[in-house]
Amino acid sequence: MTQYILALDQGTTSSRAILFDHDGRIHGIAQQEFRQIFPESGWVEHDAGEIWRSQLAVAQQVLKENGVTAEQIAAIGITNQRETVVLWDRATGEPVANAIVWQDHRTAGLCDALREQGKGQVFQQKTGLVIDAYFSGTKLKWLLDQVPGARTRAERGELAFGTVDSWLIFKLCGKHVVDTSNASRTLLFNIHTMQWDEELLALLDIPAGILPQVVPSSGIVGHSAVELLGGAIPIAGIAGDQQAATFGQACHRPGMAKNTYGTGCFMLMNTGKQAIASRNNLLTTVGWTIAGQSDYMLEGSVFNAGAAVQWLRDGLGIIKTSADVEALAQSVPDSGGVFFVPAFAGLGAPYWDAYARGTILGISRGTTAGHIARATLAGIAYQSADVLDAMQRDAEIQLTELRVDGGAARNDLLMQFQADVLGVPVVRPMVTETTALGAAYLAGLAVGYWQSTEEIAAQWKVEKRFEPLMSADERAQRLAQWRRAVQRSQQWLE
Protein backbone atom coordinates (compact mmCIF):
# COMPACT_ATOMS: atom_id res chain seq x y z
CA MET A 1 0.00 0.00 0.00
CA THR A 2 1.59 3.27 -1.17
CA GLN A 3 2.15 5.74 1.63
CA TYR A 4 1.98 9.54 1.30
CA ILE A 5 2.53 12.61 3.43
CA LEU A 6 -0.38 15.07 3.61
CA ALA A 7 0.73 18.71 3.76
CA LEU A 8 -1.78 21.32 4.93
CA ASP A 9 -0.69 24.70 3.54
CA GLN A 10 -2.77 27.43 5.17
CA GLY A 11 -1.93 30.65 3.32
CA THR A 12 -3.07 34.26 3.45
CA THR A 13 -5.64 33.98 0.66
CA SER A 14 -6.30 30.24 0.35
CA SER A 15 -6.08 26.90 2.12
CA ARG A 16 -4.45 24.02 0.25
CA ALA A 17 -3.85 20.35 0.83
CA ILE A 18 -1.12 18.52 -1.08
CA LEU A 19 -0.21 14.83 -1.14
CA PHE A 20 3.52 14.12 -1.59
CA ASP A 21 5.05 10.76 -2.47
CA HIS A 22 8.39 9.39 -1.29
CA ASP A 23 10.27 11.16 -4.12
CA GLY A 24 8.91 14.53 -2.98
CA ARG A 25 6.58 14.68 -6.00
CA ILE A 26 3.01 15.99 -5.90
CA HIS A 27 0.44 13.18 -6.07
CA GLY A 28 -2.63 15.37 -5.59
CA ILE A 29 -3.62 18.94 -4.73
CA ALA A 30 -6.79 20.78 -3.66
CA GLN A 31 -7.22 24.49 -3.00
CA GLN A 32 -9.96 26.80 -1.72
CA GLU A 33 -9.85 30.58 -1.38
CA PHE A 34 -11.49 32.35 1.57
CA ARG A 35 -12.62 35.90 2.34
CA GLN A 36 -10.34 38.84 3.03
CA ILE A 37 -12.02 41.25 5.46
CA PHE A 38 -11.02 44.96 5.48
CA PRO A 39 -13.03 46.70 8.25
CA GLU A 40 -10.99 49.92 8.08
CA SER A 41 -8.03 51.32 6.14
CA GLY A 42 -4.92 49.36 7.14
CA TRP A 43 -6.96 46.64 8.90
CA VAL A 44 -6.99 43.07 7.56
CA GLU A 45 -8.97 40.23 9.14
CA HIS A 46 -9.90 36.60 8.49
CA ASP A 47 -12.74 34.51 9.87
CA ALA A 48 -10.81 31.80 11.74
CA GLY A 49 -13.79 29.45 11.43
CA GLU A 50 -13.64 29.88 7.67
CA ILE A 51 -9.89 29.17 7.71
CA TRP A 52 -10.56 25.88 9.54
CA ARG A 53 -13.52 24.84 7.36
CA SER A 54 -11.64 25.56 4.12
CA GLN A 55 -8.55 23.70 5.35
CA LEU A 56 -10.55 20.64 6.43
CA ALA A 57 -12.53 20.67 3.16
CA VAL A 58 -9.42 20.60 0.94
CA ALA A 59 -7.83 17.86 3.07
CA GLN A 60 -10.94 15.71 2.66
CA GLN A 61 -11.14 16.60 -1.05
CA VAL A 62 -7.53 15.67 -1.92
CA LEU A 63 -7.92 12.25 -0.25
CA LYS A 64 -11.25 11.55 -1.96
CA GLU A 65 -10.22 12.74 -5.44
CA ASN A 66 -7.04 10.64 -5.38
CA GLY A 67 -8.58 7.54 -3.82
CA VAL A 68 -6.26 7.73 -0.81
CA THR A 69 -7.35 6.49 2.63
CA ALA A 70 -6.24 7.65 6.07
CA GLU A 71 -4.24 4.41 6.42
CA GLN A 72 -2.10 5.52 3.46
CA ILE A 73 -1.11 8.80 5.14
CA ALA A 74 2.12 8.31 7.09
CA ALA A 75 1.85 11.77 8.68
CA ILE A 76 0.41 15.28 8.39
CA GLY A 77 2.66 18.34 8.05
CA ILE A 78 1.26 21.83 8.66
CA THR A 79 2.56 25.12 7.33
CA ASN A 80 0.83 28.44 7.77
CA GLN A 81 0.62 32.17 7.22
CA ARG A 82 2.67 33.52 10.12
CA GLU A 83 2.00 36.25 12.72
CA THR A 84 -1.78 36.09 12.16
CA VAL A 85 -3.49 35.96 15.57
CA VAL A 86 -6.41 33.73 16.60
CA LEU A 87 -8.05 34.00 20.05
CA TRP A 88 -10.59 31.33 20.92
CA ASP A 89 -12.71 29.86 23.71
CA ARG A 90 -11.03 26.72 25.08
CA ALA A 91 -14.35 25.08 26.00
CA THR A 92 -16.29 25.64 22.77
CA GLY A 93 -13.36 25.85 20.33
CA GLU A 94 -14.97 28.96 18.80
CA PRO A 95 -13.05 32.18 18.01
CA VAL A 96 -13.98 35.20 20.14
CA ALA A 97 -13.20 37.63 17.29
CA ASN A 98 -11.93 37.63 13.73
CA ALA A 99 -8.28 36.69 13.29
CA ILE A 100 -6.00 39.73 12.86
CA VAL A 101 -3.82 39.10 9.80
CA TRP A 102 -0.06 39.68 9.57
CA GLN A 103 -0.66 42.51 7.05
CA ASP A 104 -2.82 44.44 9.54
CA HIS A 105 -1.39 47.77 10.76
CA ARG A 106 -3.92 48.80 13.45
CA THR A 107 -1.26 48.56 16.19
CA ALA A 108 1.28 50.88 14.51
CA GLY A 109 0.61 53.57 17.16
CA LEU A 110 1.20 51.11 20.01
CA CYS A 111 4.48 50.08 18.34
CA ASP A 112 5.51 53.75 18.08
CA ALA A 113 4.80 54.19 21.80
CA LEU A 114 6.91 51.13 22.75
CA ARG A 115 9.81 52.41 20.66
CA GLU A 116 9.52 55.88 22.21
CA GLN A 117 9.70 54.23 25.66
CA GLY A 118 13.06 52.76 24.57
CA LYS A 119 11.81 49.16 24.47
CA GLY A 120 13.10 48.43 20.95
CA GLN A 121 16.39 46.99 22.13
CA VAL A 122 14.96 44.57 24.70
CA PHE A 123 12.56 43.13 22.11
CA GLN A 124 15.27 42.86 19.45
CA GLN A 125 17.82 41.23 21.77
CA LYS A 126 15.38 38.60 23.02
CA THR A 127 13.20 37.91 19.97
CA GLY A 128 15.43 38.86 17.03
CA LEU A 129 12.53 41.00 15.75
CA VAL A 130 11.91 44.73 15.45
CA ILE A 131 8.86 46.28 17.13
CA ASP A 132 6.36 46.38 14.28
CA ALA A 133 2.61 45.92 13.83
CA TYR A 134 3.49 42.95 11.56
CA PHE A 135 4.15 40.62 14.51
CA SER A 136 1.62 38.82 16.71
CA GLY A 137 2.27 40.33 20.15
CA THR A 138 0.71 43.76 19.69
CA LYS A 139 -2.23 42.26 17.75
CA LEU A 140 -2.93 39.93 20.70
CA LYS A 141 -2.76 42.84 23.15
CA TRP A 142 -5.23 44.75 20.96
CA LEU A 143 -7.72 41.83 21.05
CA LEU A 144 -7.42 41.48 24.84
CA ASP A 145 -7.96 45.24 25.26
CA GLN A 146 -10.74 45.72 22.68
CA VAL A 147 -12.90 42.55 22.67
CA PRO A 148 -15.45 42.95 25.49
CA GLY A 149 -14.58 40.68 28.42
CA ALA A 150 -11.58 39.11 26.66
CA ARG A 151 -8.92 40.19 29.15
CA THR A 152 -10.90 38.99 32.19
CA ARG A 153 -11.67 35.68 30.50
CA ALA A 154 -8.02 35.28 29.43
CA GLU A 155 -6.84 35.84 33.01
CA ARG A 156 -9.30 33.15 34.18
CA GLY A 157 -7.74 30.71 31.69
CA GLU A 158 -10.87 30.44 29.53
CA LEU A 159 -9.26 31.68 26.30
CA ALA A 160 -6.45 30.31 24.13
CA PHE A 161 -4.16 32.29 21.83
CA GLY A 162 -2.41 30.82 18.85
CA THR A 163 -0.92 31.48 15.47
CA VAL A 164 -2.68 29.68 12.60
CA ASP A 165 -0.73 26.42 13.10
CA SER A 166 -1.93 26.32 16.74
CA TRP A 167 -5.51 26.94 15.66
CA LEU A 168 -5.49 24.14 13.06
CA ILE A 169 -3.88 21.65 15.46
CA PHE A 170 -6.41 22.51 18.17
CA LYS A 171 -9.23 21.82 15.70
CA LEU A 172 -7.57 18.63 14.42
CA CYS A 173 -6.70 17.00 17.73
CA GLY A 174 -7.52 19.29 20.68
CA LYS A 175 -3.87 20.03 21.58
CA HIS A 176 -2.77 23.63 22.27
CA VAL A 177 0.76 23.84 20.84
CA VAL A 178 2.98 25.98 18.60
CA ASP A 179 6.31 25.10 17.02
CA THR A 180 9.49 27.10 17.59
CA SER A 181 9.43 28.69 14.10
CA ASN A 182 5.96 30.19 14.62
CA ALA A 183 6.62 31.07 18.28
CA SER A 184 9.66 33.07 17.16
CA ARG A 185 7.36 35.44 15.18
CA THR A 186 5.19 36.56 18.11
CA LEU A 187 7.40 39.19 19.88
CA LEU A 188 6.81 37.09 23.03
CA PHE A 189 9.36 34.28 22.58
CA ASN A 190 13.01 34.40 23.60
CA ILE A 191 14.91 32.74 20.73
CA HIS A 192 18.00 32.18 22.92
CA THR A 193 16.31 30.43 25.88
CA MET A 194 13.57 28.98 23.57
CA GLN A 195 10.88 29.96 26.12
CA TRP A 196 8.05 32.47 26.40
CA ASP A 197 9.61 35.56 28.00
CA GLU A 198 8.08 36.95 31.21
CA GLU A 199 9.49 40.46 30.72
CA LEU A 200 8.03 40.74 27.21
CA LEU A 201 4.67 39.35 28.34
CA ALA A 202 4.60 42.00 31.09
CA LEU A 203 5.47 44.81 28.64
CA LEU A 204 2.52 43.81 26.43
CA ASP A 205 0.25 42.92 29.38
CA ILE A 206 -0.40 39.37 28.15
CA PRO A 207 -1.31 36.61 30.65
CA ALA A 208 0.94 33.54 30.24
CA GLY A 209 -2.00 31.18 30.69
CA ILE A 210 -3.32 31.80 27.16
CA LEU A 211 -0.08 30.76 25.43
CA PRO A 212 0.39 27.41 23.67
CA GLN A 213 3.04 24.85 24.64
CA VAL A 214 6.15 25.19 22.44
CA VAL A 215 7.10 22.01 20.54
CA PRO A 216 9.76 21.06 17.92
CA SER A 217 9.04 21.56 14.20
CA SER A 218 9.53 17.84 13.55
CA GLY A 219 7.91 15.40 16.00
CA ILE A 220 4.49 13.85 16.66
CA VAL A 221 2.29 16.29 18.63
CA GLY A 222 -1.01 14.41 18.35
CA HIS A 223 -3.30 12.44 16.02
CA SER A 224 -6.18 13.79 13.95
CA ALA A 225 -9.66 12.99 15.29
CA VAL A 226 -10.91 9.89 13.43
CA GLU A 227 -14.12 11.48 12.15
CA LEU A 228 -12.27 14.29 10.32
CA LEU A 229 -10.16 12.33 7.81
CA GLY A 230 -11.25 8.74 8.40
CA GLY A 231 -8.42 7.78 10.74
CA ALA A 232 -6.08 8.91 13.52
CA ILE A 233 -3.16 10.31 11.49
CA PRO A 234 0.02 11.55 13.26
CA ILE A 235 0.47 15.33 13.12
CA ALA A 236 4.25 15.39 12.93
CA GLY A 237 5.55 18.51 11.15
CA ILE A 238 4.88 22.22 11.82
CA ALA A 239 6.60 25.31 10.44
CA GLY A 240 5.69 28.85 9.49
CA ASP A 241 5.39 29.17 5.72
CA GLN A 242 8.73 30.87 5.09
CA GLN A 243 10.74 28.53 7.29
CA ALA A 244 8.96 25.57 5.68
CA ALA A 245 9.86 26.87 2.21
CA THR A 246 13.51 27.23 3.27
CA PHE A 247 13.49 23.61 4.46
CA GLY A 248 11.72 22.48 1.29
CA GLN A 249 14.37 24.27 -0.79
CA ALA A 250 16.98 22.13 1.02
CA CYS A 251 18.72 25.25 2.40
CA HIS A 252 20.01 23.10 5.26
CA ARG A 253 23.54 24.56 5.44
CA PRO A 254 24.73 28.01 6.61
CA GLY A 255 24.90 30.56 3.78
CA MET A 256 22.16 28.98 1.67
CA ALA A 257 19.23 31.30 0.89
CA LYS A 258 15.82 31.26 -0.75
CA ASN A 259 13.24 33.87 -1.74
CA THR A 260 9.51 33.12 -1.87
CA TYR A 261 7.40 35.27 -4.19
CA GLY A 262 3.86 35.23 -2.82
CA THR A 263 1.55 37.98 -1.57
CA GLY A 264 4.77 39.38 -0.10
CA CYS A 265 8.40 38.36 -0.68
CA PHE A 266 10.34 36.58 2.01
CA MET A 267 14.07 35.98 1.80
CA LEU A 268 15.69 33.70 4.37
CA MET A 269 19.34 32.75 4.80
CA ASN A 270 20.39 29.84 6.99
CA THR A 271 22.99 30.95 9.57
CA GLY A 272 23.33 27.53 11.25
CA LYS A 273 23.17 26.96 15.00
CA GLN A 274 23.90 30.61 15.88
CA ALA A 275 21.43 33.47 15.98
CA ILE A 276 23.13 36.38 14.17
CA ALA A 277 21.91 39.75 15.45
CA SER A 278 21.16 41.99 12.46
CA ARG A 279 22.86 45.38 12.17
CA ASN A 280 20.89 46.20 9.01
CA ASN A 281 17.24 46.02 10.04
CA LEU A 282 16.68 42.37 9.20
CA LEU A 283 15.04 39.82 11.47
CA THR A 284 16.72 36.94 13.27
CA THR A 285 14.34 34.04 13.47
CA VAL A 286 14.19 30.33 14.32
CA GLY A 287 14.19 28.24 11.15
CA TRP A 288 13.21 24.90 12.64
CA THR A 289 13.91 22.62 15.57
CA ILE A 290 14.67 18.95 14.91
CA ALA A 291 15.87 16.43 17.52
CA GLY A 292 16.58 19.18 20.04
CA GLN A 293 18.71 21.25 17.63
CA SER A 294 17.55 24.58 16.19
CA ASP A 295 18.74 26.25 12.99
CA TYR A 296 18.54 30.05 12.87
CA MET A 297 17.83 32.34 9.91
CA LEU A 298 18.27 35.93 8.86
CA GLU A 299 15.05 37.09 7.21
CA GLY A 300 13.94 40.06 5.17
CA SER A 301 10.20 40.54 4.67
CA VAL A 302 8.81 42.49 1.70
CA PHE A 303 5.12 43.17 2.38
CA ASN A 304 3.87 43.67 -1.18
CA ALA A 305 5.00 41.55 -4.13
CA GLY A 306 2.26 39.42 -5.69
CA ALA A 307 -0.15 41.88 -4.04
CA ALA A 308 1.10 44.55 -6.49
CA VAL A 309 0.25 42.32 -9.47
CA GLN A 310 -3.19 41.62 -7.95
CA TRP A 311 -3.69 45.39 -7.75
CA LEU A 312 -2.96 45.73 -11.48
CA ARG A 313 -5.66 43.09 -12.00
CA ASP A 314 -8.31 44.15 -9.46
CA GLY A 315 -7.58 47.83 -8.83
CA LEU A 316 -6.53 49.08 -12.28
CA GLY A 317 -8.07 46.33 -14.43
CA ILE A 318 -5.15 46.38 -16.91
CA ILE A 319 -4.76 42.57 -16.76
CA LYS A 320 -7.42 39.83 -16.52
CA THR A 321 -5.35 37.29 -14.58
CA SER A 322 -2.12 37.65 -12.59
CA ALA A 323 -0.33 35.47 -15.16
CA ASP A 324 -1.06 38.10 -17.86
CA VAL A 325 1.41 40.56 -16.31
CA GLU A 326 4.42 38.93 -18.00
CA ALA A 327 3.08 39.35 -21.56
CA LEU A 328 2.00 42.94 -20.84
CA ALA A 329 5.43 43.77 -19.37
CA GLN A 330 7.13 42.22 -22.41
CA SER A 331 5.18 44.51 -24.74
CA VAL A 332 7.79 47.22 -23.95
CA PRO A 333 11.61 46.89 -23.88
CA ASP A 334 11.93 48.50 -20.42
CA SER A 335 9.88 50.49 -17.89
CA GLY A 336 10.44 53.78 -19.74
CA GLY A 337 11.89 55.41 -16.62
CA VAL A 338 8.86 54.51 -14.48
CA PHE A 339 9.50 53.27 -10.91
CA PHE A 340 6.76 51.69 -8.78
CA VAL A 341 7.27 51.30 -5.01
CA PRO A 342 4.36 49.00 -4.04
CA ALA A 343 4.15 50.09 -0.39
CA PHE A 344 0.39 49.54 -0.06
CA ALA A 345 0.76 48.45 3.57
CA GLY A 346 3.99 50.25 4.40
CA LEU A 347 7.54 49.03 3.78
CA GLY A 348 9.09 45.98 5.43
CA ALA A 349 12.81 45.16 5.63
CA PRO A 350 15.16 46.92 5.62
CA TYR A 351 13.08 50.14 5.93
CA TRP A 352 10.33 49.23 8.46
CA ASP A 353 8.14 52.21 7.64
CA ALA A 354 4.46 51.60 8.47
CA TYR A 355 3.65 55.08 7.15
CA ALA A 356 5.05 54.64 3.61
CA ARG A 357 2.50 54.24 0.83
CA GLY A 358 2.53 53.03 -2.78
CA THR A 359 4.21 55.43 -5.20
CA ILE A 360 4.61 55.50 -8.99
CA LEU A 361 7.25 57.93 -10.26
CA GLY A 362 8.62 58.92 -13.66
CA ILE A 363 5.27 58.91 -15.50
CA SER A 364 5.16 60.86 -18.77
CA ARG A 365 2.58 61.19 -21.58
CA GLY A 366 4.35 58.26 -23.25
CA THR A 367 3.76 55.93 -20.29
CA THR A 368 1.59 52.90 -21.13
CA ALA A 369 0.06 50.01 -19.23
CA GLY A 370 3.06 47.97 -20.40
CA HIS A 371 5.47 50.35 -18.66
CA ILE A 372 3.44 50.18 -15.43
CA ALA A 373 3.43 46.36 -15.59
CA ARG A 374 7.19 46.27 -16.19
CA ALA A 375 7.81 48.71 -13.33
CA THR A 376 5.65 46.52 -11.07
CA LEU A 377 7.81 43.44 -11.71
CA ALA A 378 10.97 45.52 -11.33
CA GLY A 379 9.67 46.90 -8.01
CA ILE A 380 9.33 43.34 -6.67
CA ALA A 381 12.90 42.53 -7.73
CA TYR A 382 14.37 45.79 -6.37
CA GLN A 383 12.78 45.23 -2.95
CA SER A 384 14.38 41.78 -2.80
CA ALA A 385 17.74 43.23 -3.86
CA ASP A 386 17.57 45.67 -0.91
CA VAL A 387 16.98 42.73 1.44
CA LEU A 388 19.81 40.62 0.01
CA ASP A 389 22.24 43.53 0.27
CA ALA A 390 21.44 43.88 4.00
CA MET A 391 21.63 40.10 4.48
CA GLN A 392 25.09 39.75 2.95
CA ARG A 393 26.39 42.58 5.14
CA ASP A 394 24.91 40.98 8.29
CA ALA A 395 26.04 37.42 7.64
CA GLU A 396 29.36 38.46 6.05
CA ILE A 397 28.64 35.74 3.50
CA GLN A 398 28.61 36.37 -0.27
CA LEU A 399 25.67 34.54 -1.79
CA THR A 400 26.53 32.26 -4.72
CA GLU A 401 22.93 31.64 -5.83
CA LEU A 402 19.37 32.41 -4.78
CA ARG A 403 16.81 29.58 -4.77
CA VAL A 404 13.30 30.81 -5.60
CA ASP A 405 9.73 29.58 -5.20
CA GLY A 406 6.16 30.83 -4.90
CA GLY A 407 3.61 31.78 -7.55
CA ALA A 408 5.52 34.68 -9.14
CA ALA A 409 8.71 32.59 -9.37
CA ARG A 410 7.11 31.06 -12.49
CA ASN A 411 7.45 34.46 -14.21
CA ASP A 412 10.62 34.19 -16.35
CA LEU A 413 10.85 37.94 -16.98
CA LEU A 414 10.77 38.67 -13.26
CA MET A 415 13.32 35.94 -12.45
CA GLN A 416 15.74 37.19 -15.14
CA PHE A 417 15.44 40.76 -13.88
CA GLN A 418 15.96 39.50 -10.31
CA ALA A 419 19.23 37.82 -11.35
CA ASP A 420 20.25 41.03 -13.15
CA VAL A 421 19.74 43.36 -10.18
CA LEU A 422 21.23 40.89 -7.68
CA GLY A 423 24.26 40.01 -9.77
CA VAL A 424 23.96 36.33 -8.74
CA PRO A 425 22.23 33.38 -10.45
CA VAL A 426 18.58 32.76 -9.60
CA VAL A 427 17.65 29.07 -9.50
CA ARG A 428 14.11 27.71 -9.80
CA PRO A 429 13.54 24.10 -8.69
CA MET A 430 11.38 21.45 -10.38
CA VAL A 431 8.91 21.53 -7.45
CA THR A 432 7.96 25.16 -6.70
CA GLU A 433 5.45 24.10 -3.99
CA THR A 434 8.35 24.20 -1.56
CA THR A 435 6.34 25.58 1.38
CA ALA A 436 4.05 22.54 1.51
CA LEU A 437 6.98 20.28 0.64
CA GLY A 438 8.99 21.60 3.61
CA ALA A 439 6.11 20.82 5.99
CA ALA A 440 5.85 17.35 4.44
CA TYR A 441 9.59 16.76 4.89
CA LEU A 442 9.47 17.81 8.57
CA ALA A 443 6.54 15.45 9.19
CA GLY A 444 8.11 12.60 7.22
CA LEU A 445 11.40 12.85 9.12
CA ALA A 446 9.52 12.50 12.43
CA VAL A 447 7.89 9.20 11.44
CA GLY A 448 10.81 7.68 9.51
CA TYR A 449 9.22 8.19 6.06
CA TRP A 450 12.49 9.93 5.16
CA GLN A 451 15.65 9.08 7.09
CA SER A 452 17.77 12.25 6.94
CA THR A 453 18.13 15.79 5.60
CA GLU A 454 20.76 14.39 3.20
CA GLU A 455 18.13 12.12 1.64
CA ILE A 456 15.80 15.13 1.32
CA ALA A 457 18.49 17.40 -0.19
CA ALA A 458 19.20 14.77 -2.87
CA GLN A 459 15.60 15.16 -4.12
CA TRP A 460 16.04 18.88 -4.90
CA LYS A 461 16.34 19.36 -8.69
CA VAL A 462 16.91 22.47 -10.86
CA GLU A 463 14.21 23.34 -13.40
CA LYS A 464 15.76 26.59 -14.72
CA ARG A 465 18.76 28.75 -13.90
CA PHE A 466 18.81 32.51 -14.65
CA GLU A 467 22.28 34.02 -15.02
CA PRO A 468 22.77 37.79 -14.50
CA LEU A 469 23.18 39.67 -17.82
CA MET A 470 23.22 43.31 -16.64
CA SER A 471 26.52 45.19 -16.32
CA ALA A 472 27.67 46.24 -12.85
CA ASP A 473 27.43 49.92 -13.83
CA GLU A 474 23.86 49.65 -15.05
CA ARG A 475 22.89 47.66 -11.95
CA ALA A 476 24.34 50.33 -9.63
CA GLN A 477 22.62 53.12 -11.56
CA ARG A 478 19.20 51.43 -11.49
CA LEU A 479 19.45 50.59 -7.78
CA ALA A 480 20.40 54.19 -6.97
CA GLN A 481 17.31 55.42 -8.86
CA TRP A 482 15.17 52.85 -7.07
CA ARG A 483 16.38 54.06 -3.67
CA ARG A 484 15.45 57.63 -4.63
CA ALA A 485 11.93 56.37 -5.43
CA VAL A 486 11.74 54.59 -2.06
CA GLN A 487 12.66 57.82 -0.27
CA ARG A 488 9.74 59.58 -2.01
CA SER A 489 7.30 56.93 -0.71
CA GLN A 490 8.47 57.01 2.92
CA GLN A 491 6.59 58.60 5.84
CA TRP A 492 3.73 59.57 3.50
CA LEU A 493 1.05 59.26 6.18
CA GLU A 494 1.37 61.93 8.86
Known binding-site residues equal 12-14, 16, 82-83, 134, 241-242, 263, 306, 310, 407, 411
> In 323-367, which residue ranges form alpha helices assigned H by DSSP?
325-329
Binding site feature residues for sn-glycerol 3-phosphate: 12, 82-83, 134, 241
Burial class (CB in 10 A: 0-12, 13-18, 19+), 18: buried
Contacts of residue 411, Cβ cutoff 8 Å, sequence gap at least 6: 261, 325, 326, 377
> In 117-220, which residue ranges form alpha helices assigned H by DSSP?
120-127, 136-146, 150-155, 164-173, 180-183, 198-203
What CA–CA distance (Å, rounded) separates 487 from 479?
12
Contacts of residue 286, Cβ cutoff 8 Å, sequence gap at least 6: 180, 181, 183, 184, 191, 194, 243, 294, 295, 296, 297
User: How does 48-57 read in b/e, with b if 16+ C-beta sit within 10 Å?
Assistant: bbbbbebbbe
Binding site feature residues for glycerol: 82-83, 134, 241-242
For the chain, how far is it from start to end, CA to CA, in angstroms? 63
What CA–CA distance (Å, rounded) separates 123 from 126?
5
Sign of CA dihedral 33, 39, 41, 43: negative
Phi-psi region of 447 (alpha: psi -120 to 50; beta: other; left: phi over 0): alpha
Q: Which of 121, 123, 28, 46 is nearest to 83 (CA)?
A: 46
Binding site feature residues for ADP: 12, 16, 263, 306, 407, 411
Cis peptide before 333 (omega within 30 of 0): no
Binding site feature residues for ATP: 12-14, 263, 306, 310, 407
What CA–CA distance (Å, rounded) separates 292 from 216?
7
Q: 9, 18 in Cβ contact below 8 A?
A: yes
At 364, the amino acid letter reads S
What CA–CA distance (Å, rounded) separates 342 from 348?
11
3-state secondary structure of 490: coil
What CA–CA distance (Å, rounded) separates 145 from 71?
45
In eight-state DSSP terms, residue 410 is G
- Count the neighbouring beta carbons within 10 Å of the beta carbon of residue 179: 30
In eight-state DSSP terms, residue 424 is S
